Chains A and B, each alone.
Chain A
Amino acid sequence: MGSRKDERLITVLVADDTSTDRLILEAILRKQGHRVLSAEDGEQAVAVYSAERPDIVLLDALMPKLDGFAAARQIKTLAGEELVPILFLTSLTDADSLVKCLDAGGDDFLSKPYNPVILQAKIRSFFRMRAMQRTMLEQRDQIARHNEHFLQEQTVAKQVFDNITSGGQVDSKHLRYYLSPLAVFNGDVMVASTTPAGNLMLLLGDFTGHGLPAAIGAMPLATTFYGMVEKGFAMSDILAEINSKLKSILPVGLFCCASMVEMNFRKNTVRIWNGGLPAAYLHRNDGQVEQIKSSHLPLGVLSNKKFKSDPALISMAHGERLYLWSDGIHEARDLDGEMYGDDRLLAEFANNQQPDELFDDLLKSVKHFVGLSEKSDDLSLVELLMAPVDIADVNPDSQVVTTQSQLAEWGLTFEIKPSSFAIFDPLPLLLSVLLEVPGLRNHSGTLYTVISELYTNALEHGVLGLDSSIKDAPDGFDRYYQLRRDKTQTIQNGFVKIDLAHKMQADGGSLTIIVADSGSGFSLADYTQKNDKHYSGRGLKLVQSLCDTLEVRGDGNIVAATFCWHTDD
């Protein structure tokens, strides 16, 4: 059995009012193995076509009721986009009549007397064409479906992305920006937010590649950015965190060229870090233009050990403007394929008389240059203006306290009871609370050491009453810890209480740690007499060196330490 498509049974409609010719044609077609339908005039031909949908139609030109030309037009209309080959049966010989057949939608002719060999060749050839066209239509529909699906996905992805990025987008007179509507799929991303101190933090990124792969990296970038800016983290910390996140998420070869900027409107300074983006332009009030070139590798390339997040600090007078862009502007091409380039950018700056129109002029210039060429929608441009902050906009003093997501002033009392001594280590829990304070996060190591020392002293010497001099003996350490194990498991009474209190100060904050225990305390005089050579004396001395103040209260069973931190700005 022939399974090839063109060996399938082909249905042919024959329409001819001359019975002789019809009989002959039907006989030839049947003999060649086709299924034959007949019509005696044009009207019948149209009716049979619409009822049976034959593969190929053979039409006599001159027929009563409806002639072949009119029938051909109707059949083509009924067929829609399906290809139904129509062959005119004709002994017409003049060119005009043949043209008329083709104009009516005819695909070919078959002249009388009929030649079976030629007829068979034409039937097969047109049937192949029809099958090919059907395949093409199916593939076209499939492509259309895929495309629709793809666009739907992009729309959803864009919505998700917009929801994430709109988290902290600032609407301020200090910031103007242009991003093409589907910029995220060009790999461009811009996030901006106001820090608790009232600074404007902004990051413009350009991921390698296009489409969804480029957009995916924008999600962790945006969430990290907003999460950390809101909590008051320093720009270098945010950069390092984004870098390490992208480095661990993105495959090799996918990274993010980025510029990050922090505008301090009180001190009139800007911190800027450029990793792989085109040089940012700083437009001075005297018309000079300074370029801040990339001096780092893009985000997501280096491991955090090698990554340098050291922004430059530049002063900016009121009215001065900083411009950031992705390479979309430099590489924008006109119809001849020429790039917009640095020279045109510089010329635009040089020609500018009204700084407040520079942003619009730049955009207009690039768009005009690109004209109708297809890459006209791949532009990202940011303008940052140094200007005084309206009191209504930001109140740095109150902001610190009122920002809900930030731990500022708080206190906490944590008491550990006997049954927990053996099995519970309070440090991870307490540390995780402390790290909610952005200013303390950089000091987690110090804080760990301090609390750990104070807790150990309180538990071992205070509650358990262990004498640290035991450790001086040759096998002291083993004996000491054996004793500790035994005592923690049998002890019925006692407690260690840890008080933590944090408050904000003008240039940072202070953390007070008070550790009290149920023990009988110890003599401060004893403590101060201890020699440095004794291991047992190291605890408090170390704490003292790490903290700003250290105080032993009560009978020596209460120790209070204060740790102060300072913003680096």
Chain B
Amino acid sequence: MSDNHLIDHEILSTLQDVMGDDFGLLIETYLSDSEGRLSAMQKALASGDAEALRCAAHSFKGSCSNVGATTLAAQCQLIEQAALNKQLIGLETSLVTLHSEFSQVRRQLAGYQ
């Protein structure tokens, strides 16, 4: 299943171990953080602010990698790199992809709670 590539289950189970009772809170926090980052990225792209886009992509990349959403992290890396090079053309498509991948991650994470 292609879904398996979206999440590194080993990282997630380590996290479960580390967080204990707080694991649910962590997932909730991650989801709301991510929505914030995604809308910030969209806003930045719409206004042509490459730096704001780069920062949002960078921060989102960090939290994604921390929760084991490795595919999302890789996608963020591409956007961050493009924003750093001021190449905003064509990034709308990348953002749409990022959105849909995030929706799948959200569904998978629901299974952990």
Contacts and interface: CB of A to CB of B under 8 A. Distances in A.
B11 A27 contact: no
A5 interface: no
A481 B65 CA distance: 120
Nearest to A19: B29
Interface stretch (A111-119, A371-379, A506-514): A111-119
Interface size class of B (residues with CB under 8 A): 20 to 34
Nearest to A89: B62
Interface string A18-60: 1111011001100100000000000000000000000000001
B59 A24 contact: no
A17 interface: yes
Contacts of A19: 29, 32-33
Given A27-B22, A62-B55, A113-B68, A21 B15 contact: no
Contacts of A116: 14, 18
Interface string B78-106: 00000000000000000000000000000
B72 to A, nearest CB: 12
Given A18-B33, A112-B65, A23 B59 contact: no
B62 A23 contact: no
Contacts of B25: 23
B19 interface: yes
Contacts of A24: 15, 18-19, 26, 66-67
A31 B58 contact: no
Contacts of A91: 58, 61-62, 65, 73
A18 B58 CA distance: 11
Contacts of B59: 17-18, 60, 62
B47 to A, nearest CB: 17
Nearest to B23: A27
Interface in B28-69: 29-30, 32-33, 55, 58-59, 61-63, 65-68
Contacts of A17: 59
Nearest to B80: A91
Q: By DSSP majority rule, is chain B's interface helix, strand, loop, or mixed?
A: helix
Contact of A27 (B19, B30, B55): B19
B74 to A, nearest CB: 11
A415 B20 CA distance: 112
Residue of B26, B65, B66, B68 ringed by the most chain A CB atoms within 10 A: B66
A19 B62 CA distance: 11
Nearest to A16: B62
A113 B65 CA distance: 5
Given A62-B55, A62-B58, A113-B11, A20 B66 contact: yes
Interface in A112-167: 112-114, 116
A114 B29 contact: no
Contacts of A114: 66
B24 to A, nearest CB: 11
A28 B67 contact: no
Nearest to B33: A20
A71 to B, nearest CB: 15
Interface string A186-226: 00000000000000000000000000000000000000000
A21 B63 contact: yes
A116 B11 CA distance: 11
A116 B18 CA distance: 9
B18 A20 contact: no
Contacts of A27: 18-20, 22, 26
Residue of A27, A31, A89 ringed by the most chain B CB atoms within 10 A: A27
19 contacts: A18-B62, A20-B29, A21-B63, A23-B22, A23-B29, A24-B15, A24-B19, A24-B67, A27-B26, A31-B18, A60-B59, A62-B58, A91-B62, A91-B73, A92-B58, A112-B62, A113-B65, A113-B66, A116-B18
4 residue pairs, one from A and one from B, having the closest CB atoms = A20-B63, A20-B30, A112-B62, A113-B66
